[in-house]
């Protein structure tokens, strides 16, 4: 059975057709839990009084603040720290927990995919988690709670004392770490019972697959999103009822998204540098491979972690421009022919062009860190002794700056008077701002945002701007939004960290998020600066 078919059945709650019986791991036993190096932790949840907004005329949250309630803690996120929660024995899952009557709780599980389960190799397997909570359950997988209209079961409540089943890995790999958070509720909620919450079962079903799963477009599913509002000015950008939707999944790593206008509606192009592909996505046509071997086809390709394309843009003449990691160059597509825009500086090969943007005069500005080289800064293929930011125009490649250790995301202000460049370096998580001079070079840079002290393994990746000059930054923990004067307005946190983004959609207010192995979208209150719109 394909992943798409299995997922669809699990989301709708339909019975599975006849398939080979899966191997099952009972996570409610010590033997089963040990076989996957698992650990259960537990914590009661509670209802907390908070404030929100009354609905306005359009049915969305309005200006009038009103009291309401929320659940504490919010423990579904992948980065939630449960280290202080007590560990519980798997055999104790059947113990009655919670305070009884109207009560809620959390069970959190972390486990590692072994090489084999029940004598069956787990490589590429589909893993399905099965549980039943007395009385209701919601299930988060690696920080994501996805749901679709009319859904019953899977990640959301299946019914009173019903079984929840959902895919937790569509293409498992030995050593893969998986986090599951199960939210339990006593019910019926309108007539709280005189009993307690307990877990009837917890199992992993393993469905073997012979080959690696291909990425898929899925039915548009709403997922969890959190907005940290630091400044009231964020309300003009981010709706109070922001929605995030998952569009596709199963990629190795998504990067370089680009919205392309086309007759009858546009589409999104984006890279998977690990898979050496460019994909095309649209809401009407779904997902397709746009270009194979998008960045490299050399005999030593097996040495590269990211041989493929990365950043994509469109020049003022409508040509697609591609940064190619493995070939270490920037090219323009003329029909199906690749025309080299930049591959050397002063006779030496570039490192691995990462992100890029086209200026209205036709110049291409791009960053060139070492991240696409197999051994990074220590790679013997490296010829330039620095990572640079460059400008390519009329066959000439000009170095703009070599002062950043990991130049990455790049964007112009709406009037093209300033250039923003993000730095991927744990020791200097900076967004730099440079004045753009009349000859196309840049002046002395200033630090626009310094996130070095912000915890998290992510530094600065993609950078984009909107029509009013607000700056959107892939930074530690999420998507950071800054006013043109550098004020941190807020941060959008979804299930996966977005490494890059692109404005698109019919009104230009949709922000597509290339988030690790997935593709998401959000719609904001403001139009963004799109590559084709200059």
pLDDT of residue 7: 56
Residue listed under structure tokens 């929320």: 70
Token duo for residue 400? 């703009």
Rounded distance between C-alpha atoms, residue 11 and residue 71, angstroms? 25
351 and 393 share one domain? yes
pLDDT recorded at residue 10:
53
On the question of pLDDT at 517 being above 60, the answer is: yes
Which pair of tokens denotes residue 516?
């690790």
CA distance 43 to 108: 9
Nearest one of 222, 24, 32 to 128, comparing CA atoms: 24
> Residue 437 — very low, low, confident or very high, per pLDDT cuts 50/70/90?
very high
Q: Each residue of 276-316: pLDDT tens digit?
A: 999 999 999 999 999 999 999 999 999 999 999 999 999 99
Last residue of a domain, one of 185, 207, 229: 207
What is residue 531's predicted lDDT score, i.e. its pLDDT? Answer: 84
Last residue in a domain, options 207, 231, 249: 207
Same-domain status, 188 and 235 = no
The residue among 465 and 8 whose pLDDT is bigger is: 465
Q: Hey, what are 457's tokens?
A: 């393994």
Please report the pLDDT score of residue 3 as a whole number. 52
CB 329 within 8 A of CB 383: no
C-alpha angle 137-140-142 in degrees, rounded to nearest 5: 160
How many structural domains compose the chain?
2
Q: What is the pLDDT of residues 319-376, one digit of tens each?
A: 999 999 999 999 999 998 999 999 999 999 999 999 999 999 999 999 999 999 999 9
What mean pLDDT do residues 254-268 have? 93
Structure confidence by residue, pLDDT tens digits, 3-17: 555 555 454 444 444
Query: Same structural domain for residues 253 and 340?
Result: yes
For 134-190, what is each residue's pLDDT tens digit? Answer: 999 999 999 999 999 999 999 999 999 999 999 999 999 999 999 999 999 999 999
Statement to judge: residues 273 and 196 lie in one domain? no
Q: Are residues 249 and 327 in the same domain?
A: yes
User: How confident is the model over 12-24, as a mean pLDDT?
Assistant: 61
Residue 185: which of 174, 171, 199, 173 has the closest Cα?
A: 199
Predicted local distance difference test score (pLDDT) of residue 238: 98
Residues 228, 261 share a domain: yes
Residue 245 reports pLDDT greater than 60: yes
Write down which residue in 207, 239, 265 finishes a domain: 207
What does the pLDDT average to over 420-441?
98
How many degrees, rounded to 5, is the angle at CA 162 between CA 188 and CA 102? 25
Is the same domain home to 189 and 232? no
Q: What pLDDT, on the 0 to 100 scale, is given for residue 533?
A: 47
Given pLDDT bands bounded at 50, 70 and 90, which one contains residue 391?
A: very high
Q: Which domain holds residue 128?
A: 3-207
Q: Are residues 201 and 231 in the same domain?
A: no
Are 201 and 223 found together in one domain?
no
Same domain? For 381 and 502 the reply is: yes
Q: What is the mean pLDDT of residues 521-527?
A: 98
Do 106 and 247 sit in the same domain of this protein?
no
Same-domain pairing of 42 and 129: yes
Predicted local distance difference test score (pLDDT) of residue 264: 78
Residue 444 tokens, joined? 């002395």
Nearest by Cα to 236 from 531, 470, 498, 521: 470
pLDDT band for position 78 (cuts 50, 70, 90): confident
Can you tell me the mean pLDDT for 507-521? 97
Q: How far apart are CA 12 and CA 154, in angstroms?
A: 8
pLDDT the model gives residue 62? 94
pLDDT over 90 percentage in the chain? 92
CATH of the domain at 169: 2.60.120.260
Query: Which CATH number belongs to the domain containing residue 247 in this structure?
Result: 2.120.10.30
Cα distances from 515 to residues 61, 360, 395, 496, 499, in angstroms, run 28, 28, 34, 5, 6
Q: What local confidence, expressed as pLDDT, does residue 456 receive? A: 84
Q: What is the pTM of this model?
A: 0.95
Mean pLDDT of the chain: 95
């Amino acid at each position: 059975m394909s992943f798409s078919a299995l997922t669809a059945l699990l989301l709708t709650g339909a019975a599975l057709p006849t398939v080979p019986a899966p191997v099952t791991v009972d996570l409610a036993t010590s033997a089963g839990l040990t076989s996957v190096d698992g650990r259960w932790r537990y914590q009661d949840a509670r209802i907390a009084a908070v404030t929100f907004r009354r609905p306005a005329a359009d049915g969305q949250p309005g200006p009038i603040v009103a009291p309401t309630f929320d659940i504490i803690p919010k423990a579904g996120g992948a980065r939630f720290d449960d280290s202080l929660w007590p560990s519980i024995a798997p055999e104790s899952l059947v113990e009655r927990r919670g305070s009884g009557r109207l009560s809620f709780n959390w069970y959190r599980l972390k486990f590692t995919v072994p090489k084999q389960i029940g004598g069956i190799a787990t490589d590429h397997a589909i893993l399905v988690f099965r549980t039943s909570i007395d009385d209701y359950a919601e299930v988060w997988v690696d920080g994501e709670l996805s749901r679709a209209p009319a859904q019953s079961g899977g990640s959301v409540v299946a019914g009173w004392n019903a079984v929840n089943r959902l895919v937790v890995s569509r293409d498992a790999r030995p050593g893969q770490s998986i986090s599951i958070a199960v939210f339990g509720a006593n019910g019926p909620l309108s007539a709280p019972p005189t009993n307690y919450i307990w877990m009837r079962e917890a199992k992993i079903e393993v469905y073997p697959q012979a080959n690696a799963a291909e990425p898929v477009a899925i039915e548009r599913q709403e997922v969890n999103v959190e907005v940290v509002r630091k400044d009231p000015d964020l309300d003009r950008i981010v709706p109070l009822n922001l929605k995030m939707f998952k569009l596709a999944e199963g990629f190795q790593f998504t990067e370089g998204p680009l919205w392309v206008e086309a007759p009858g509606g546009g589409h999104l192009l984006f890279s998977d540098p690990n898979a050496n592909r460019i994909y095309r996505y649209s809401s009407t046509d779904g997902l397709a491979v746009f270009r194979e071997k998008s960045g490299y086809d050399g005999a030593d390709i097996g040495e590269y972690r990211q041989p493929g394309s990365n950043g994509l843009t469109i020049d003022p003449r409508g040509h697609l421009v591609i940064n190619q990691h493995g070939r270490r160059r920037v090219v323009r597509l003329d029909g199906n022919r690749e025309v080299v825009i930049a591959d050397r500086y002063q006779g030496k090969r570039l490192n691995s062009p990462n992100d890029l943007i086209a200026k209205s005069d036709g110049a291409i500005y791009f960053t060139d860190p070492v991240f696409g080289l197999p051994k990074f800064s220590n790679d013997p293929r490296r010829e330039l002794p620095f990572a640079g930011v460059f400008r390519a125009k009329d066959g000439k490649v000009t170095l703009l700056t070599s002062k950043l250790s990991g130049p990455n995301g790049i964007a112009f202000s709406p009037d093209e008077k300033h250039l923003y460049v993000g730095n991927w370096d744990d020791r200097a998580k900076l967004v730099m701002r440079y004045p753009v001079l009349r000859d196309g070079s840049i002046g002395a840079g200033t630090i626009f945002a310094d996130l070095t002290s912000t915890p998290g393994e992510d530094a600065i990746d993609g950078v984009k701007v909107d029509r009013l000059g607000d700056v959107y930054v892939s930074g530690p923990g999420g998507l950071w939004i800054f006013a043109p004067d550098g004020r941190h307005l807020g941060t959008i946190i979804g299930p996966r960290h977005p490494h890059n983004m692109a404005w698109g959609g019919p009104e230009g207010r949709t922000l597509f998020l290339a988030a690790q192995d997935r593709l998401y979208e959000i719609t904001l209150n403001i139009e963004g600066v799109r590559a084709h719109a200059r």
